[in-house]
Amino acid sequence: MNLIFALLGVFILNTSGSSLVLDATEGREARIVWYGARLQSEDAAQLRQAGFASQSAYPAYGLKGTAATALSAIQADGNHTLDLRVVSVQESEWEHGRRIEILSRDAVYPFTVKNVFLSFTDEDIIETWAEISNLGKKPVELTRYDSGCLSIHVGEVWMSSLYGTWANEGRLCEEPLTRGWKVISNIDGTRNSHTSHAEVMFSLDGKPQENAGRVIGAALEWGGDYELRVQTDDTDYHKFLAGINPDNSEIKLTRDETFTTPRLAYSFSGEGLSGVSRNFHRWGRNYRLAHGDKERKVLLNSWEGVYFDINEPGMEQMMSDIASMGGELFVMDDGWFGDKYPRKNDSSSLGDWVVDKSKLPGGIPHLVQAAEERGIKFGIWIEPEMTNSVSELYEAHPDWIIKAASREPVYGRGGTQLVLDLSNPAVQDHVFGIVDRLMKENPGLDYIKWDSNMDINVHGSQYLKEQGRLDTEYWKGLAKVLDRIRAAYPDLTIQACASGGGRANWGVLPWFDEFWTSDNTDALQRIYMQWGTSYFFPAIAMASHISATPNHTVYRTTSIKFRCDVAMSGRLGMEIQPAGMTDKEKEICRQAISDYKKVRPIVQFGDIYRLVSPYDGKFASLMYATPAKDKAVLYWWKIANFYDEHFPAVRLCGLDPDRKYVVRELNRVDLRPMAIEGKVFTGRFLMENGLVMPASNDVEWSLKSDWSSRVLYLEAL
Ligand code: GLA
């Protein structure tokens, strides 16, 4: 059957649950006939008869009037049009799926595009990207160079996207697609997931549902500026296009130069938004995230505990405390470095990565050893892509910063922060050297928190000749550095942080183990942020810390139990001065850490099912289940407290209807066990009818608060 299809110019990529059907007939434009549920060959052969028309796979500007374009280019003679026609198609197997490459050439100009489609069979992911080549002698300017274009048949199609800002990342927006353009655009340069995200989902069957309905997800794997666009016009198809944001960039392809776009990953699921999330999570853990198969340690980070007030006895006290609560790693955050200019606040010293001996006389080696003596590991904060104008680095290399010629620098954080120009190989060596020196001096260093606290402002490179290449060259430079670090120190854990959640993105995560989800650690707001972030990113990557109250960002006071129960739904850690905690609070955290360790494999490697959205009701709930459906963890958080409120049952998902599960509460603070404790229910009952959670925690008077939450562990008999 496949041979017959190929003879007709039709090529099919199947994953376990989806099919992509391509029409790549020689001499014509490459087209996508279908992307959605997996098709039987006989149905795939009759898509046209069923009313599904093929759509351009990579629409180029020129011959199609106002239609959405993924590619536009200006030839050396000023011609703005392209007429791409298929020249050849190559199909091959790779270890985890198939690869189809469609090579098209302009009808007149020596200009080619290779559109690549790659399937990950078991994860239900298909990636696409374009390799654009100028085979002529004179330069060709690319003015739009998207990674791909997908047409979605009209119906009641809704789009789910993420927006936000610093301290409010990953907020969910759900909207029906209506006439006109919907554009999600980012121009932050060094990070790209504060104000918007490079991922979207399309629900094909009306208002988005978590566990039902057909959904297509898309994630642009690019850490820099992007544009995601959806055009809804007078045709039967919404056109979705995604790629690098071409604003302020200028790619002039020289003779024989090929520009490769970032990859764009699609996923299809017939099991709602959570189904697409599970696909992205599985794929992310298997192929993208560093060490996606290794459990993450429970850590204490010093930032919200002591901020810049770093000193040796203080660090040792925090290490002792986290060790005594069962933690496994201590991370010393900002404030440890600077010689001529000691880092007392955020207005100096970035770039001067030498220890401040007045704060830490024994240096980092002493701290690594102090951690080891307490049976835990040691980690450290750096912000290697940056400097301050008040630093020895900047005094020595003022030409290393990003700045347009004839302009003064534009400063960021602390009134003095500047971004280093990673397009410059000397800067790349400097950045690699920071990690290399730390690791050579401290082979026992386990973890690096890699921060990036500034956008690119006064756009310009003091190194590059072509200013329009800054965005792409910055990311190439950073990739080279991170490749070198990963090659030299393969076991190092590295967190991607960018003023909180600025680097939750599949373009940058392949070098990182996790990301800092937000500088806002308020448990209530985290429920919303982590809900949205979980659309595309797995719990194993989502750092989620128990912090002090009143919360340092929103000043809300929540119970310690509530804070633990929220943090336990991601990669659990702490971000607090334990010296300020009561014994009771420490005891509750010790219990939470111990319980988390029991269910860590389920949370970090399991399948997510979001059950009740915080955007919809009085409580929020989600769960993780093992793929074998033998163990699961359920989270239930009350998000507002009013007397005389009545809560519906929460219906579970992802269990085996025919198995029986024993239910146990984790992180219990109640005086008496819940009535449900130790009881056995069928998976069918739990999924069809669910469980009703008590409206409040039954605790002694001194612990009573307006917060209530539950974590339940389910195990199949
Ligand atoms: C950023 C990070 C914080 C912390 C500070 C240190 O804001 O997001 O977690 O590391 O920098 O200055």
Task: Give, for ligand 1, the residue of 380, 454, 514, 519 to mutate: max count of ligand atoms closer than 8 Å to Cβ.
Answer: 519
What distance in angstroms lies between residue 38's CA and the mean position of ligand 1's atoms?
45
On the question of pLDDT at 102 being above 90, the answer is: yes
Closest ligand 1 atom to the C-alpha of 499?
8
What distance in angstroms lies between residue 535's CA and the mean position of ligand 1's atoms?
24
DSSP E strands in 422-483: the ranges are: 445-450
Residue 568's pLDDT band (cuts 50, 70, 90):
very high
Closest ligand 1 atom to the C-alpha of 333?
10
Q: Is 575 in the pocket of ligand 1 (CB under 6 A)?
A: no
On the question of pLDDT at 3 being above 70, the answer is: no
What distance in angstroms lies between residue 500's CA and the mean position of ligand 1's atoms?
7
Distance CA 305, CA 322 (A): 12
On the question of pLDDT at 573 being above 90, the answer is: yes
pLDDT value at position 104? Answer: 98
On the question of pLDDT at 416 being above 90, the answer is: yes
Which residue's CA lies nearest to atom 1 of ligand 1? 499
Q: Is 497 in the pocket of ligand 1 (CB under 6 A)?
A: yes
Asked if 86 contacts 103 with a C-beta cutoff of 8 angstroms, the reply is yes
Residue 509's pLDDT band (cuts 50, 70, 90):
very high
On the question of pLDDT at 7 being above 80, the answer is: no
The rounded Cα 273 to chain-centroid distance in angstroms is 16
Average per-residue pLDDT for the chain: 97
Q: Is 500 in the pocket of ligand 1 (CB under 6 A)?
A: yes
Q: Which of 23, 471, 519, 607 is catalytic?
A: 519
Residue 63's pLDDT band (cuts 50, 70, 90):
confident
What distance in angstroms lies between residue 451's CA and the mean position of ligand 1's atoms?
7
Average pLDDT of span 83-106: 97
For residue 288, what is the DSSP state? Answer: I
Q: Is 321 in the pocket of ligand 1 (CB under 6 A)?
A: no
CB neighbour list of residue 240: distance below 8 Å, 6 or more residues apart: 149, 150, 151, 152, 200, 202, 218, 228, 229, 230
What distance in angstroms lies between residue 426's CA and the mean position of ligand 1's atoms?
26
On the question of pLDDT at 162 being above 70, the answer is: yes
Q: Which of 321, 356, 446, 451 is catalytic?
A: 451
Task: Give, for ligand 1, the residue of 332, 382, 451 to mutate: max count of ligand atoms closer than 8 Å to Cβ.
Answer: 451
What distance in angstroms lies between residue 243's CA and the mean position of ligand 1's atoms?
29
Residue 554's pLDDT band (cuts 50, 70, 90):
very high
Token output for 56 = 């351009």
Average pLDDT of span 420-424: 98
Asked if 409 contacts 342 with a C-beta cutoff of 8 angstroms, the reply is no
Average pLDDT of span 135-152: 98
Distance CA 119, CA 136 (A): 32
CA angle 504, 474, 484 (to 5 degrees): 80
Which residue's CA lies nearest to atom 6 of ligand 1? 334
Which residue's CA lies nearest to atom 12 of ligand 1? 334
3-state DSSP call for residue 128? strand
Average pLDDT of span 269-279: 98
Asked if 21 contacts 44 with a C-beta cutoff of 8 angstroms, the reply is yes
Q: Is 334 in the pocket of ligand 1 (CB under 6 A)?
A: yes
**Secondary structure of 640-658 as H, E, C letters:** CCCCCCCCCCECCCCCCCC
pLDDT value at position 2? Answer: 66
- Smallest Cα–Cα separation from 277: which of 199, 207, 222? 199
Average pLDDT of span 172-194: 97
What distance in angstroms lies between residue 499's CA and the mean position of ligand 1's atoms?
6
DSSP E strands in 507-666: the ranges are: 514-516, 542-547, 571-575, 607-612, 619-625, 631-638, 660-666
What's the pLDDT tens digit per position in 325-370? 999 999 999 999 999 999 999 999 999 999 999 999 999 999 999 9
What distance in angstroms lies between residue 671's CA and the mean position of ligand 1's atoms?
38
What distance in angstroms lies between residue 381's CA and the mean position of ligand 1's atoms?
9
What distance in angstroms lies between residue 98's CA and the mean position of ligand 1's atoms?
42
Percent of the chain with pLDDT over 90: 96
Asked if 445 contacts 355 with a C-beta cutoff of 8 angstroms, the reply is no
On the question of pLDDT at 522 being above 80, the answer is: yes
Q: Is 381 in the pocket of ligand 1 (CB under 6 A)?
A: yes
Please say if 630 is a catalytic residue.
no
- Smallest Cα–Cα separation from 448: which of 409, 496, 487? 496
Residue 66's pLDDT band (cuts 50, 70, 90):
low
Asked if 39 contacts 21 with a C-beta cutoff of 8 angstroms, the reply is yes
Q: Is 451 in the pocket of ligand 1 (CB under 6 A)?
A: yes
What distance in angstroms lies between residue 168's CA and the mean position of ligand 1's atoms?
15
Closest ligand 1 atom to the C-alpha of 575?
9
Asked if 609 contacts 623 with a C-beta cutoff of 8 angstroms, the reply is yes
On the question of pLDDT at 1 being above 90, the answer is: no
Which residue's CA lies nearest to atom 11 of ligand 1? 499
What domains are defined for the chain? Answer: 2-288 (2.70.98.60), 610-716 (2.60.40.1180)
Task: Give, for ligand 1, the residue of 497, 544, 552, 576 to mutate: max count of ligand atoms closer than 8 Å to Cβ.
Answer: 497
Average pLDDT of span 530-555: 98
For residue 79, what is the DSSP state? Answer: -
Average pLDDT of span 276-297: 98
Q: Is 169 in the pocket of ligand 1 (CB under 6 A)?
A: no
Residue 5's pLDDT band (cuts 50, 70, 90):
confident
Q: What is the dihedral of CA 270, 273, 276, 278, to 10 degrees?
A: -110
Which residue's CA lies nearest to atom 4 of ligand 1? 303
Q: Is 23 in the pocket of ligand 1 (CB under 6 A)?
A: no
Closest ligand 1 atom to the C-alpha of 449?
10
Please say if 356 is a catalytic residue.
no
Asked if 451 contacts 381 with a C-beta cutoff of 8 angstroms, the reply is yes
CB neighbour list of residue 51: distance below 8 Å, 6 or more residues apart: none
- Smallest Cα–Cα separation from 708: which of 501, 593, 538, 558? 558
Distance CA 573, CA 449 (A): 13
Q: Is 453 in the pocket of ligand 1 (CB under 6 A)?
A: yes
Residue 260's pLDDT band (cuts 50, 70, 90):
very high
Residue 500's pLDDT band (cuts 50, 70, 90):
very high
